Chain A
Amino acid sequence: AQSVTQLDSHVSVSEGTPVLLRCNYSSSYSPSLFWYVQHPNKGLQLLLKYTSAATLVKGINGFEAEFKKSETSFHLTKPSAHMSDAAEYFCVVSDRGYSTLTFGKGTMLLVSP
């Protein structure tokens, strides 16, 4: 069975400061891990994915995530937040590589000027 826990339901940062969105997972197999972003009234957009290649994954818009097997974590980071980053972020795990995705509950990122 697979599960994913996003540790914060809301994260507030100031523009220009670093972003850290935390995610822990459990999986019976070697997992594939993803971060998706959803802007208000928009669809889900893939930010980045880890599929057993390099453990540090770079995504779009300056985001990156590091897969740490020993900590079962896949935290999302960005060095400097932008107002346009304000959205809801979902950490997602798939342990069968091609089938059902399990979504975290989401973390709402709020960016203040």
Chain B
Amino acid sequence: GAGVSQSPSNKVTEKGKDVELRCDPISGHTALYWYRQSLGQGLEFLIYFQGNSAPDKSGLPSDRFSAERTGGSVSTLTIQRTQQEDSAVYLCASSLESRGRFYGYTFGSGTRLTVV
């Protein structure tokens, strides 16, 4: 696609429920990233995919968070047993990395998650 697409754009869920957030990167972008933007916290790195593998998942805040990427394309971020502190905007970005060169990130518009 022309840009990074994220769905849903807004999600309200009850505490304790599981949620899935989806990211469709730009076609051909090999790298995919998840970030979280919380009020007063800035942007936090969550996880990085190169192809279908995740060489850096150091930012996942707890074992309730997991992510996968299939076919080198779509990624899903899953939050189990959501808590109120999980409320944030979850941003996905993709980038084209070729022969060690970095061409910059393109961000999606994010999914605003509200846990009530």
Task: List residues of chain B with CB within 8 A of the CB of A45.
Answer: 107
Sample (19) of A-B pairs whose CB atoms are under 8 Å apart = A32-B102, A34-B104, A36-B107, A43-B108, A46-B104, A46-B105, A49-B104, A51-B102, A90-B43, A94-B102, A97-B100, A97-B102, A98-B31, A99-B56, A100-B56, A101-B33, A102-B45, A103-B35, A103-B43
Interface size on B, residues (CB 8 A): 23
Interface size on A, residues (CB 8 A): 22
Are B109 and A101 within 8 A (Cβ)?
A: no
Are A98 and B102 within 8 A (Cβ)?
A: yes
A42 CB to closest chain B CB (Å) equals 7
Are B42 and A100 within 8 A (Cβ)?
A: no
Asked if B91 is at the interface of the complex by the 8 Å CB criterion, the answer is yes
**How far apart are the CA atoms of A101 and B31 in the complex, in Å?**
13
Task: List residues of chain A with CB within 8 A of the CB of B101.
Answer: 97
Question: Which residues of chain B have a CB within 8 Å of any CB of chain A?
Answer: 31, 33, 35, 42-43, 45, 48, 56, 59, 91, 93, 95, 97, 100-102, 104-110
Task: List residues of chain A with CB within 8 A of the CB of B109.
Answer: 42-43
Interface residues of A in 48-88 (CB under 8 A from B): 49, 51
Task: List residues of chain B with CB within 8 A of the CB of A22.
Answer: none
**How far apart are the CA atoms of A103 and B102 in the complex, in Å?**
17
Task: List residues of chain B with CB within 8 A of the CB of A32.
Answer: 102
B30 CB to closest chain A CB (Å) equals 10
A46 CB to closest chain B CB (Å) equals 6
Are A44 and B107 within 8 A (Cβ)?
A: yes
Task: List residues of chain A with CB within 8 A of the CB of B95.
Answer: 98
- If A43-B91, A98-B102, A103-B43 are given as contacts, then 7 extra A-B residue pairs at C-beta distance below 8 Å, sorted by A number, are A34-B104, A44-B107, A46-B104, A97-B102, A100-B59, A101-B105, A105-B42
Are B100 and A98 within 8 A (Cβ)?
A: yes
A98 CB to closest chain B CB (Å) equals 4
Most buried by A among B91, B107, B108: B107
